[in-house]
Structures are given as C-alpha cells and as structure tokens.
Structure 1
Amino acid sequence: MRVARNRGPGVTVEQVAADFGVHAMTLWKWMRRADIDDGVKPGTTGHDSAELREARRRIKLLEQENEVLRRAAAYLSQANLPRERIYPLVKELAAGGVPVTVTCRVLKLARQPCYRWLDVPVTGAEFEEAYRANALFAAHRDDPEFGYRFLADEARSTGAVMADRTAWRVCRDNRWWSVFGKKCGRGKKAGPPVHDDLVNRTFTATGPNRLWLTDITEHATGEGKLYLCAVKDVFSNRIVGYSIDARMKSRLAVTALDNTVARRQDVAGCILHSDRGSQFRSSKFVQALGRHRMAGSIGRVGAAGDNAAMESFFSLLQKNVLDRRTRATREELRIAIVTWIERTYHRRRRQAALGRLTPIEYETVMTPPALQAA
C-alpha cells in the first residue's frame, strides 16, 4: 500500500498490483480500509469491526444458552433425573443449531458420555434389560399373584436369563407386585403360633423318636436358589429325614416330614419343634402332623436360640459344604448336600456330646434291638 500511495506519475494502481502479484481490486480494498483506519475517510475501522463481530458472537452464544435453559426447564424441575433422560434434549437442540458443547456446558453434562449416547442411543445392556422386563411383565400379567421369585422362574423358562435379584429390581422399578403382597412397615407382626413351645430350649431326649427339630435353609447356585428342609432327632443328632426343592413352599416341609416318618415308622407322640415360619404354620403341615399322630411345637418370633440345636447343624453344613465353592447347578449342590449328610455327618463325624461316636454308631449302641429292627 505504501508503494501504491507513493507511486510515480503515470504509474497506476493496477501496475503496482501486478508487480506484487495481487489482484488490483484487492489492493484497492486494502487502501480504502487503511484510509478508514487512518481517519482519512469516514467508515467503520478494523478495530470496531472486530469488536462488533465479538459482540455478535457473544449475543448469539447468549441466545443459544437461553434457548437451552428454556427447553430444559421441564427436565431440570424433576429431582434426581438420570443424565440419560436429558441426552434426547441435547440431540434436539443440536438439530436446531445449538452446538452440543454449549448445551453440555450450560447443563453441566460431561461431553464424552453424551457423544457416546448420540452414537449409540440404546446399548445392548438396555436391550437385554427390556427383554427381561417384557418376560417378567408377561408372567405377571398371566399370574398376578406370583412374587418376583416365581416371575423370575417363569421368565427363565422362556429363555430370559436373570438372577432373582435382577428380577426384584425390575419388578420394583415397574411396581409389579403380587396381588397378595403387603407393604412392609414398622409394627408388622409374624403369624400366630399354631402350637405351644413344648421344648423351652431343652434339647435332650431319653430315646429316639421323642423329640425332632426342623428348619429350612436356602443356598444359591448358578441356576438359582435351592432350599433344604431337614429333620433332626435330638437323641442321636441324626438327620432322620430331609427334602430338597427349588421352591420354598409348604410342600417342602410336608415332604420332609413324610420322608422322615416313612424312614422311622413308630413316631406316634413324637414332638416336632420348629420356628414360626409360614411353612410350619400352614394347614397342610398341621394336617400332616395330625395324620402321623405327632405333637407340634413352635418357638418365639426372632428368638434363634429356641431352635439353636437345628441352627448348629445348618452352621456345620454351611462351613463344610456351601462355603467351600459355588455350585453351578441345583443338581450339583443337591448331590453335595446329600453326600455330606449321609457319608460324612452320619458315619464319619464324631461328636463329643455322643461320647465321641457318630450319630449312626450312637443309635446302634443306645437303641434296643427291637427298635433297631423297626
């Protein structure tokens, strides 16, 4: 521009532009802009233009931020709203011209998870969760009286693999409760006892088939829970009968009692002591006791010591079998439990209370021959 301004007579601006390899119109624009910046000609200077551009940029940014806050007002009014619920708004604003960076800054969202969601709005885990929810809802619609454990069994039978805890979480989130369920709250009382406590923590007996103890325990496997109802003779500490099933219903206790009576035969007048579980208070179990001419006995609520002798056996089972390793199938755990009871506990584990004899040896020594034959 200095060369063009100080050009000699007869030299044109076009010639100067050609000498420097620029277009003549470009050189004329530079000279006009320089005259405005120097105040020779009226107009907006370059500094003013930069400030104006910056002001326009900030105005546009503020408009975008206001639009984000206006559109997000309904979302922000909800407490503890998951971030994934706001990402669709980010996508809508981006389609309207508001950059994702601006929206994330205003809403205080991390950009990386937002971009991940924009690339894959529905993940494989969410698809799988939806399939599980559909299977649970179908089972709940067909059988509204089922609790979450039964719903999980029905869903697994249709191919929707899930743990009981997952089924509980899905049912809780969707409020799919059993029609027979009751809300848990303070002051909830256990069911009434159907028998008196005839034992009073005196776990001794003068002979076999005088006093039995029973209880139910549950254990987890890769296929789900497995329930064991065992019956113990206090005289010899022998497990005289048991039942194993995948569901904890009254038939579990009734089957264990029937198996025990079939094995021991003469049980009339025997006392069967248990805790106040619903399985032992059921009408089917009470009828089974009457059918076998046995007397029922039930401890107090929340008093584990009332059935301590049975709890001690379950503690041994837990330490010697269940805590060793996790079983993949119910059948594998069933075999392990039966093997430990019949081979180890009955025939190899000597007990100080029995004079260092095993339960089988103690019954053989202390039982009269007539009862042994029976």
Structure 2
Amino acid sequence: MTARNRRTFDTAFKLQVVQMIRDQGLSVSQVCRDQDLVDSAVRRWLAQYDAEQAGQPGVGKPLTAEQQRIRELERENQRLREDVSILKKAFGLLRPGTEVIQSMIDQWQEKADTARLCRLLGVSRSGVYATRRRRQTPRVCALTTPLQAAFQASGGNYGSRRLCAALKSQGLLAGRCRVRRLMKQHGLKARWKRKFVHTTDSRHDLPVAANVLDRCFNPNAPDQAWAADITYVRTDRGWLYLAAVLDLYSRKIVGWAMAPNMPAELVCTALQMAIALRQPKPGLIMHTDRGSQYASQAHRDLLARHGLVASMSRKGNCWDNAVMERFFLNLKMERIWQQRYANPAEAMTDITHYIIGFYNTHRLHSTLGYRSPADYEKATA
C-alpha cells in the first residue's frame, strides 16, 4: 500500500465544503466520500465555522437576532421542501395497478369523483379502469417493482439501456425489448429535451492556446486530462452561471463553482476546487473553449502556477469539447429543465445535490460500461 500524500486546503475551499453541508443540506459522509476528504478534518472545519459564527473571542461577531431568525426560517423552509420532495418521490412509486392506489380510490369514491382523485394522485383514469378490469386475471411480473424503483431513482431519466444495466447490477437479467415493453406498459417514459444556447465569447484579443487534447477523450489514468466549460441556468430571479471541471478518465466532476455572473474568477474557483481535491501532477492537460474567461490572465496564471498545460478548442467547433457539452446536456435534461427555480440559491442547492448525490456516485455511464464515475475509479484504482 502506498502512503497517501498529505494535502493542504486554503480557507476558500474549506468554506466551500462547509457551505455544502450547512447551507445545501448535504451530509458529512456524503461530501467526504465524493470529495475524498477525511471525516475528522471536515468536522473540524465545521466546528471552526460554528465557533466563528457564534462570535467567540478573537474569532468574529455573533449573528444578530434578525439574522438568526432568517436562518431559522431558511432551515425550516428547506426541511419542508425536502419533506415534500420525499413524499412525492415515495408516492411516485405507487403506480396504477398497485393495491395501495386502487384501494385509496375505492375508499374515497363516495366522497369525490374518479377524475378528481386521479388528478390528485397523479394517475390516469384509463389506468384506474384498466386495473379494475385486470383484477379478475392479475398478471404478476417480478421485474415491475425493481424496474419502477430504478426509473424513479434516476429521476425519471433512464431509458431502456440504462434500466437494463441497473437491473443487471441487482442480479436481474432482462433484455432490452422486455424492458421497453414494461416501460410502455407502466407509462415509464424518459424525459428528454434538446436546446442549444451559445455562451462562448471568443471575440477577444487574449492569447489562445493550441488544441493539445485533439479529441483524445479517453486517457489511460485519472488526472491526465480535464475538460472545463460554462453554462447558464434560468431562475425566477435572474440567471445563474455554472463553471465545471470534468476528469475525462472517469467522467467525474472534480470541481465546480456557481455565481450570478461569469467573470474569470468563476472558472478559476472551479479549477482551484479541482486542484485542491485531486492534487494533479504537472503536465495535466486542461482543455476548454476559447472563451474570454479561460483566456484571461488570471486563468493562465493559475495553470502556470500548478504546471498544467492549456488546451483550447478550435474556433466554432463544439465537438472539440464534446464530453463537457454532453455533461451539461445531461444536467439540463435530467434536472434543470424539469425544475423551476425561485432564485439562484435554490438552483445552486439542487445542482450540487445532482452532482454529488447522483451524477458522480450513481449515474450509469455507457462509456464506463454502465458504471458511475465513483465506481469506475474504485474498480480501476
């Protein structure tokens, strides 16, 4: 066993980790597992942050009563949203044809009409009537429940290929044709949307790096080549911009940052997070587009300080950074376009949950043999 190199983290990174736990509702174990951090160190950062917020001697000022009340209300709202989300996801597993929904409709039939009950329960009348007809000759399929559970766990985004892989990981073998038939039978349809928005501004006079990566999207080991890009998220109170860094070896998001605007500092913060977590060796290829943020002096200085090699796509060629573009498309199809965010803070929390709680740890990638980025790194370590 090789000795693990001791890593050092600056104050900005520690604060970012603490905010994930305190403000965005992530658990300490979840953050430590995804970011490869030591549990005791993270808890020490939390204790230090709590001490500073409490205004202990020589550390800072305590919160005012109004600020404390605001934070309590924010935590209460967050708990209510999580409770509602849990109930919705749990109830989503109860599809037409199950005894629970049918019994509930039959019980309340005298107090409300069928159409109203179906609307409240999120089911169709035709499904309810078909279930009543099938009661005489019920047909049980052992794959139905695990198939529905896997579909709901993916947020309603998995198609037949990934559902086959998810069932296989549970020891349940089913062909794609059978899975497609069951999906159609139970109304399981993956939600897909395709949109394109141009966010790269390459009309500048800043230095542009050569395309060193040259579409070599499958390096032989972790931390040999990263890709980065910026995208935007619509909220009811304005835009939110997301900068992300992806390890091409495992397709894992190793760094990200979000802000209501997209200066060079945004992409630098995302890259600093990736460097702090992965501690890459000099020579790593950092591939981006030709945007002014990535061509800025601050970003070039950060690359030079850590010995990273800059690589940029050719002008107007989105295929040179196709892996990063695909991540943003998955993020929007599987999460953002299914939500309506009231403000940037709500969007930041939801996107962070998607990256840490689903994409990095559970989402099955066809490129990785239908394994998640975390499982792929563990299997090839």
Instruction: Return the TM-score normalized by structure 2.
Output: 0.46
Higher relative contact order (CA 8 A, sep 6+): 2
Q: Which one has the bigger helix percentage? A: 1
In our comparison, the structure showing a higher alpha carbon Rg is 1
